Amino acid sequence: MSALETALTEWRSALGEEHVITEPEALASAETATFATTQRIPAILRPSTTAEVQACLRIAQARRVPVYPVSGGRNWGYGSRVPPRDGCVLIELARMNRILAYDEKLAYLTIEPGVTFRQAYTWLKERNSPLFITTIGGSPEGSLIGNALERGDGRGPHADIFNYVCGLEVVLPNGERIETGMARFPSAHAAPVFRWGLGPSLDGLFSQSALGVVTRMTFWLVKKAPYLHEFAYAVKEDAHLWELLDRLQPLALDGTLRNSLFIWNDVKALSIARQFPFEHTGGRTPLPSFMLEQLREELGRWIISGAISAQDEELGALLQRRVGTAMEGLGHRLEMQDRGPDYESAFQGRPSDGNLAMTYWRKKNPVPDPPHPDRDKCGFIWCSVAVPFTGEEAQAASAIATRVPRMFALEPNVALLALSPRCMYLVVALAFDREVPGEDERAMACYQALQRELIQAGYYPMRLGLPGFPEEIPVQDDSRTLLKRLKEAVDPAGIFAPGRYGF
């Protein structure tokens, strides 16, 4: 019997037959991302408790079979469920979907990795909670923990999501279990409310990493503001945007803008509102500039959107005036649709799959409900880098992000996400149709050229997908050696998520 067959027998007895999946259809679906991949997945394990995760890893360790964890499996644009290396068995944590603790006064929620954005939102809503959990622009069925571990970005004051979590429970590759912060001490009252604990803080080691399966995490919730006002401004010229960013950054720093700010270019805004206008181009791609200008109409080159939140209307109106003054002469206010009395804002945690339409931009069939870009052969790759929050830096990085996709006959879909007063993420989406011959290869070549140029200009990735070639990112110190030593200490057989983030 091969090592894999022995491991499968042992996993079946640990989890039950039905939770060790080897049906070719299920495996083929897990092997599919929104870009070309070749990795094969021999099986999917579906543990339902921390003890079962420990058993899975002990068996993997003993039999030297590599494994790879996913929680919601919606890492679309970064690699979906596909592991970086061939032959990894998936550990899928969707069955671990319990909400373990909630405290309204101290504003936290402790959950397992299978808990989705939609589930947590609905759970809080059913309890008429005055609190919300930060949501993202991606799938409502994504995992809160999977997203936080990727250091995802959301809407609202806790937009830098991993900054607002604590008390991780982690199963190490050898099956040992650890807890971070105060949670490692018996009956520690401050475990869900104090991040650092005592001594070295370990949380960061398990994000964007390959050192263990996170089986529990506490998220700090945000109090809903009595006054919330969403706004959007159109910006006609690139030069106006750079100046506006320098006017808005001080407002983020002084607290006028407490929520994350979203700056989308015309292609991005358009690709959410509609699909590629094949009917106007005679079926040809890419979209000519003059047609883009016609289609975007009053939207301009960029749209800046965000939300003002305040304790009362008077303060809210004052903050709104400050934003209006900053926009004067350069930004043109867009009327927001009246969304009715039941409207709930994404800035207060309402998840939506509206933005997923973007992944169908180049598809000829309409966006289905619900969308599923892996299944529908949507081509989609994210390239995401960190940029200081100044007009000059945004201009330099955006110039690369706009120029390179055009060289590969793709429309530049560019966003700047201001998550803090200091730093923005420049997020470029490459959208294509995997069913058109040659597009997979062209899009991947584009991604690699884009990442290379951004790195050469000093803009480094803040999150990597499968094609991120982490080994090629230059470092100027001994950190790579340290990380290698850590990996060898925690996972000497190299069976856990091999290749992830260069580990």
Ligand X SMILES: Cc1cc2nc3c(=O)[nH]c(=O)nc-3n(C[C@H](O)[C@H](O)[C@H](O)COP(=O)(O)OP(=O)(O)OC[C@H]3O[C@@H](n4cnc5c(N)ncnc54)[C@H](O)[C@@H]3O)c2cc1C
Residues making contact with ligand X (CB under 6 A)? 69-77, 93, 113, 136-139, 142-143, 145-147, 149-150, 152-153, 213-214, 355-356, 358-359, 380, 500
Q: How far is the CB of 501 from ligand X (least distance, A)?
A: 8
Looking at the Cβ atoms of 73 and 167, the one nearer to ligand X is: 73
Query: Cβ closer to ligand X: 114 or 286?
Result: 114
Q: The tokens 């929050």 sit on which residue?
A: 389
Burial 20-34 (b: 16+ CB within 10 A, else e): bbeeeeebebbbbbb
Q: Which residue do the tokens 């592991």 mark?
A: 83
CB of 290 to ligand X, least distance (A): 27
Closer to ligand X by CB, 150 or 393: give it: 150
Q: Which two tokens stand for residue 180?
A: 């971070």
Cβ(347)–Cβ(360) below 8 Å: no
> Between the CA of residue 58 and those of 7, 53, 142, 370, what are the distances in Å?
10, 9, 27, 37
Q: 3-state class of 285 per DSSP? A: coil
Nearer to ligand X by C-beta: 153 or 433? 153
| Least Å from the CB of residue 359 to ligand X | 5
Token readout for 175 is 């099956």
Give CA–CA dist 332/231, Å, rounded.
11
CA 290, 293, 448: angle at the middle one, nearest 5? Answer: 80
| Residue that is written with structure tokens 């929520």 in the block | 259
Q: Please, which residue, 323 or 464, has the CB nearer to ligand X? A: 464
Which C-beta is closer to ligand X: that of 357 or that of 409?
357
Q: State how beta strands 222-223 and 227-235 pair.
A: unpaired
Q: Is 441 helix (H, G, I), strand (E, B) or coil?
A: helix
DSSP type of residue 362: T
Instruction: Give the count of beta carbons closer than 10 Å to the beta carbon of residue 255.
Output: 10
CB of 482 to ligand X, least distance (A): 20
To ligand X, the closest distance from the beta carbon of 54 in angstroms equals 13
Closest CB 486 distance from ligand X, rounded Å: 15
Q: Closest approach of Cβ 73 to ligand X, in Å? A: 5
Nearer to ligand X, 249 or 384 (CB): 384
Provide CB contacts within 8 A for 253, sequence distance 6+.
421
DSSP of 293-314: HHHHGGGBSEEEEEEEEESSHH
Closer of 117 and 242 to ligand X (Cβ): 117
In this complex, which beta carbon is closest to ligand X, that of residue 330 or of residue 378? 378
Task: Record the tokens describing residue 261, joined without a space.
Answer: 């700010």
Alpha-carbon distance 30 to 436, whole Å?
22
Strand order in the sheet with 331-333: 331-333, 227-235, 302-310, 261-265, 413-418, 423-433, 378-388, 461-463
Q: Which residue has the tokens 């060898």?
A: 488
Cβ distance to ligand X smaller for residue 216 or 224:
216
Smaller CB separation from ligand X, 213 or 401: 213
CB nearer to ligand X: pick between 78 and 408: 78
Residue 217: CB minimum distance to ligand X, A: 8
170 φ/ψ angles, rounded to the nearest 5 degrees? -135, 135
The CA–CA distances, whole Å, from 460 to 417, 420, 454, 475 equal 15, 17, 7, 11
What's the DSSP call for residue 95?
Answer: T
Rounded Cα–Cα distance for residues 503 and 500 (Å): 5
Min CB(272)–ligand X separation in Å: 8
To ligand X, the closest distance from the beta carbon of 409 in angstroms equals 21
DSSP-assigned states of every residue in 72-132: S---TTTTTT--SSTTPEEEE-TT---EEEEETTTTEEEE-TT-BHHHHHHHHHHTT-SEE
How far apart (Å, rounded) are the C-alpha atoms in residues 39 and 34? 14
Contact between 424 and 418 under an 8 Å Cβ cutoff? The reply is yes
